A and B are shown apart, each in its own frame.
Chain A
Amino acid sequence: MNKQLMYGTYAIGEAAIQAGCTCYFGYPITPQNELPEYMSRRLLEVPGGVFIQAESELAAINMVLGASVAGARVMTSSSSPGISLKQEGISFLAGSELPAVIVNIVRGGPGLGNIAPAQSDYFQATRGGGHGDYKTIVLAPASVQEMADLTFLAFDLSDQYRMPALILGDGMLGQIMEPVVIPARKKKKLPEKDYILTGARGRPARLVKSLILDTRQMEDHNWKLVRKFQRVKQNETRWESFLLEDAEMVVIAYGTAARIAKGSINRLKKEDPDIKIGMIRPITLSPFPEKIIRETAGKVSDFFVFEMSTGQMVEDVKLSLEGRGTVHFYGRPGGVSPTPAEVARIMARHYPQSKSTGKK
């Protein structure tokens, strides 16, 4: 497909279609309605395509469960309050080891909050979100192209590890337009879906469930999920580093906040070419790229975390550092998107004084 100017939500939708997604179930909520609208049009053109506007997010996520257990590649999307409702189903998907792709275009909260871009659902996304001991894969795109690329990845990882994969965007990423190339699907070698329900023809009946009444077996199941997530961590952790080589301070930010922060770094460098600020942008929030952060602490002592929340990922940064380095935090919750100039001012304030070149 040629390069085209696309909304972030459309890029997710088209990438999903190209990735072989044949089912979408959802319930309208701003700011992500363009995605179900897009899927409702596109799935009409896909053989066997299924689109249902469900009666609630609860129903939608459980239709996802049904389609997944029937063997389809399936997606749902929502925004923060709707994702809260989906947690029941996400926990069941995780417990039953079923794949599904769930998109959260995060808005300001708590409660009804507002419809502006925010990053306040980080904890919910990276800690599993629903009840029980489990984690999901959480991917954080920072551009429209990445919204497409990570959608392909989400489907593959979800199928490969039999666990739900979340795409954590925000209202800004959903609504900006940027040039994007939606590639054709590169078929990855994935494990055969030998668990799906097709009717017990010529084979023993299959059972997909999360109820395990025997406590020892449930414990085993919990540890199995942990081992699986450790494999994900080992093989699938992704991040982008920017100007890290000789950095005196390292910014850690993801998604829209990372875009703003990059703009801030560029501004500061323009004002003072000797200023040395680098950045680590986690692409997988779960698993979190702790190793690279910990390793960087050997060379850098100041870390600056910027989030569009009161501070959630900053806890993972501190956990990764295990006491090394100093962590500075700047947060703008509530749906506020600060300008690069504003974040640059705060960054400069925390830039290690001894390393400052003295120029203003």
Chain B
Amino acid sequence: MLIKTMFSGFGGQGVLSTGQTLAKAAMLENKHVTYLPSYGAEVRGGTANCTVTISDKDIASPIASEPEFVVALNQPSFFRFQNLLRAGGFLLYNSSLVKPASVRGDIETLGIPSTGLAADLGNVRVSNMVILGAFIRISNLISLKLLLKNLPDILGPGKLRLLEINKKAFQAGYNYIKE
């Protein structure tokens, strides 16, 4: 198993912390993992992205040629990064902010109103964790149960006050797909 996922969105949407959360959770499940934040030309234009690779074996390249998954938190990312996806890949997007126009025919797409769901929880800033919850359900890369268990470790002592809202966010996203 070697799965590469690209998270992308505007700077400030929590793109990098979403990727880091997934990477840490996978590491705590004893998987091999790399997290590669974007930089250079790709940072410009206000988008941020990162690539998380999860594998049961040693990971060769942290750079993805054709990721299996793209998680797009805004419209520009939706357009730009679906082109990178491999044929048969999965594009998950935040349907509160993204209009799913001009989609490739050889990929699967699914929208989840993560900003809306986060607003329902009382904190739009956890929109990224809502979509990560949905991603976990779709990708089956890591276990939600273990993620919730390891969450204090993942957040670290500085962010423990956000433990409950993050848990709710993951569950909201996860259950949205279940329904």
Q: Do chains A and B touch in the complex (CB under 8 A)?
A: yes
Q: If A5-B23, A5-B27, A340-B60 touch, does A178 touch B40 (CB 8 Å cutoff)? A: no
Report yes or no: B39 in contact with A116, Cβ–Cβ below 8 A: yes
Q: Which of A209-217, A259-267, A348-356 contacts B (4 or more CB under 8 A)?
A: A259-267
Chain A residues with CB under 8 Å of B39's CB are: 31, 115-116, 171, 175
A residues 218-262 touching B (CB-CB < 8 Å): 259-260, 262
User: 8 Å CB contacts to A: which residues of B37-95?
Assistant: 37, 39-41, 60-66
Considering the chains assembled together, what is the distance between the CA atoms of A202 and B47 in angstroms? 64
Decide if B36 is an interface residue (CB 8 Å cutoff): yes
Interface string of A319-340 (1 = CB under 8 A from B): 0000000000000000101111
Chain B 1-37 interface 0/1 with A at a Cβ cutoff of 8 Å (1 = within): 0000000000000000000100110010000111111
Given A5-B23, A177-B34, A179-B27 in contact, is the A259-B61 Cβ separation under 8 Å? Answer: yes
Q: Is B65 in contact with A339, judged by CB distance below 8 angstroms?
A: yes
For the complex, give the distance between the alpha carbons of A262 and B35 in Å: 17
| A residues 136-193 in Cβ contact with B at 8 Å | 171-172, 175-179
Chain A, residue nearest B19 (CB): A177
Residues of A within 8 A of B27 (CB): 3-5, 179
Q: How many A-B residue pairs have CB under 8 A?
A: 72
Given contacts A116-B40, A177-B34, contact A5 B20 (CB under 8 A): yes
User: Among A176, A266, A267, which residue has the most Cβ atoms of chain B within 10 A?
Assistant: A176
Q: Residue on B with the closest CB to A242?
A: B60
Which among A5, A177, A179, A341 has the greatest number of chain B C-beta atoms within 10 A?
A: A177
Q: Which residues of B contact A4 (CB under 8 A)?
A: 27
**Nearest residue, chain A, Cβ from B41:** A116
Contacting residues, chain A, for B65 (C-beta < 8 A): 263, 267, 339-342
- With known contacts A339-B65, A341-B65, A266–B60 Cβ distance under 8 A: yes
Residues facing B in A277-294 (CB within 8 A) are none
Set of chain A residues within 8 Å of B60, measured between Cβ atoms: 259-260, 262-263, 265-266, 340
The reply to whether the CB of A301 lies closer than 8 angstroms to some CB of chain B is no
Instruction: Please pick, from A117, A176, A259, the residue contacting B35 in the complex, using a CB distance under 8 A.
Output: A176
Q: Chain A CB within 10 Å — which of B23, B24, B60 has the most?
A: B60
Q: List 12 A-B contacts (CB under 8 A).
A: A116-B39, A172-B63, A175-B37, A176-B34, A176-B36, A178-B33, A178-B35, A259-B60, A264-B61, A339-B63, A339-B64, A342-B65
Task: Identify the 9 closest CB pairs spanning chains A and B, nearest first.
Answer: A263-B61, A341-B65, A262-B60, A116-B40, A339-B65, A263-B60, A177-B35, A340-B61, A179-B27
